Amino acid sequence: MNQSRVPELPTGIQLIYLAEGAANIVYRILPSSGDIPISELAHYAEGTPPPTEIEDPGLDRLLEGKLLRLRKDVKHALPYKENAWNFDRVIRPLFSPDELVDQILVFLPSGLVHQRNEQLRADEKDGKRSENRRGIYLSTAEPFGLLVTDMTSSPISRFTTIEFKPKWLVQSPSAPAKSSRCRTCALREMKNQEARNAGTKEVRSFCPLDLISDKIEDVRRATQFLKGCRDQSCVTRCLYQNSTILKLQAHQSEMNDVGLYGQPPQSPSMSASMSLRDCTMFIKIPYDKSGPFEVRLGDLDLKVPSGGKAQYWLDIEKRLIQDGWYVGERMGLEGSECALARS
């Protein structure tokens, strides 16, 4: 990757904390000029200074419709330069641009990470940061950030967004021939048994095979479990034989050496295969339902099999097979959502 072609964010750019996961924090970028609409003020922190003007119109266009993702200082997280290279080389060729939450590598201005870390510490003191995220801050050794397509709900954009993980749209190649559970449903039922034993809450969700069914009633059955889905009929029509999810299924089928006897867990092909099985689908729905839906796939960073993850994948598969979860032999699981159990 030619570093001279990587754009640099302007000094003084204003960011607002939006969300964070185990390895990254996502920020909303304040508009570079003009007044902030009243309907958008809820997105911005109280007392935030006015946005900095961006003199480069090309950069202004680059930032439009984007969020900024910054890397945390955690073990086994790939540097963003490598992350962006993997995305461009492995993921981008699989889908059309309008099917992906894009990733664009950008240089960070001096002092930005330090400022954001100070704000994180201040938020912790004020009780504004989730307890399970405290004590871990942005990497000061990471010179880059990633601009990603903004798929969040926003009053001014007049869109609402639902998101979910399609997971395994094809069965594991090492599942028993007489399986009555797909890989995702088998794993969920195993975890629910553990939850029952621990006295914690079980999880109900859809069967991924319903998402790619040629029967619209199967798709409708799945949409009832999608968080934030206020119009089930509308989302069902969007997902029924949706070209993006069918393309994801096709790529999972092509990269299906993921069972006990496939590629080595540390191989690049295994990383890509597992990434395609743990991505997120975003559906942006216009308020008035008259415009087109925007459907994109995100969270497509290549999975890093270090830190015990590779062995964890293998151990899970062995348990699902040996303990009878694939074939539905365990007690109290008659109410499975799995499409295989209904076939």
What is the Cα–Cα distance from 179 to 327, expressed in whole angstroms?
4
Please give the pLDDT value at position 333.
53
Token reading at 1: 């990757």
Domain boundaries, given as residue ranges, for the chain? 3-150, 161-342
206 CB-near residues (< 8 Å, 6+ apart): 164, 221, 222, 223, 224, 225, 226, 337
What is the Cα–Cα distance from 318 to 146, expressed in whole angstroms?
37
Please give the pLDDT value at position 89.
95
DSSP 213: -
Please give the pLDDT value at position 51.
41
Please give the pLDDT value at position 37.
42
Give me the average pLDDT of each 10-residue run along the chain (343 residues). 74 93 94 47 39 55 93 93 95 97 97 97 95 96 97 79 96 94 95 92 95 98 91 92 98 90 73 93 86 92 75 90 89 76 87
Taking CA 211 as the corner, what is the angle to CA 210 and CA 217, rounded to the nearest 5 degrees?
60
DSSP 164: E
Cross-strand partners of 102: none
Q: Considering the entire predicted model, what is its pTM? A: 0.88
Q: Which CATH class is domain 3-150?
A: alpha beta
Q: How far is CA 48 from CA 36, 68, 324, in A?
A: 12, 17, 56
